[in-house]
Amino acid sequence: MVFVNYGGGQYWFFQHAPWNGLTVADFVMPWFVFIIGTSVVLAFSSLRRKGTTRLQMLRKLTWRSTVLIVIGFCFINYSPRDGLLSWSWARIPGVLQRLGFTYLVLGLMETFSAETDIPLQEHRWWRPLQEVVLFWPQWVFIILLETLWICLTFLMPVPGCPIGYLGAGGIGDGGLYPNCTGGAAGYIDRWLMGDNIYRYPTCKELYRTTQPFDPEGVLGTINSVVMGFAGMQAGKIFLFYRKRDSSILPRFLVWATLLLFALFTGEREGPSAPRLGTHHCSDGGTSGGRREVFTAIQEQETSHSETPR
């Protein structure tokens, strides 16, 4: 992430796509969010085993999230050259703020979830989906959250813009919608935070946009939570099937296939827009794929270590 933020060695694939398309740089942040979700499951499971109460977990979660959000706000708004912080040019959203809020939501989900162990030996009709069925409240919440994102993105009327607009505005789309940068996502951020969002988005130079647009905005944060939840699912698989390594790899393959299928299905409907934070399916698929390789290597090393000499 640091390498990408400081130019990425001037390689084009380490530069963020101006709007449509995906580069390696566009995967870095979502991969990080995915790992956060996995870490939340493993960390909170460890806290439960140590006898940590729910109130203690809430205190730890709230403190860490608050510190991360405050550091992010101070970091992006501090500039000795421009003088003391002024609300007229301050930026409210940011990467650390988004990570902090995502961690808070994922942590709350895990804190208030039932302490459930997957019954590996029980044979029930829903056994192939047991890690989903046993945590159905979390899935209901995530489905409702993503439904909210879909409704706001594609059904919310935005003044002067077509319904469901996902373009960059400016001179894009033949200059028909110059003030529609980001569609509903940009409109909601400007309505909630005014001009206190990112004034120099990646699309500004190429599309000559005039509206501020923040890639770490409200709707994009919803998808960060969904991306982190995919990481939580990976953590659950690692945790509950740790004594049955042969079950881990097939499940990661299935989840990666489903996420990639969702990605390619969405691509047929229209271009991807990473600046809107809509690429969580591709990131989940690739993250899951990397874990499949890692798990396979682990199993291979284990088999070698168990071979008598």
Distances (CA, A) of 256 to 68, 133, 199, 262, 287: 30, 19, 36, 10, 8
- Predicted local distance difference test score (pLDDT) of residue 147: 94
pTM for the structure as a whole:
0.79
- Predicted local distance difference test score (pLDDT) of residue 282: 40
Per residue in 205-249, pLDDT (tens digit) is 888 998 899 989 999 999 999 999 989 988 888 877 776 666 677
> How far is residue 274's CA from residue 126's CA, in Å, rounded to a whole number?
35
Judge whether 230 and 259 are in contact, CB under 8 Å: yes
Residues tagged active-site: 16
Cα angle 179, 183, 187 (rounded to 5 degrees) comes to 75
> How far is residue 28's CA from residue 283's CA, in Å, rounded to a whole number?
9
Single-letter amino acid code for the residue at 302: T
Per residue in 243-295, pLDDT (tens digit) is 666 667 777 777 777 777 766 654 434 444 555 554 443 444 444 444 443 33
Per residue in 43-89, pLDDT (tens digit) is 998 888 888 889 999 999 999 999 999 998 888 887 666 656 667 77
Question: Any residues with CB less than 8 A from the CB of 179 and at least 6 apart, and which?
Answer: 160, 161, 169, 210, 211
- Predicted local distance difference test score (pLDDT) of residue 26: 81
122 vs 61, residue with greater confidence: 61
Judge whether 217 and 238 are in contact, CB under 8 Å: no
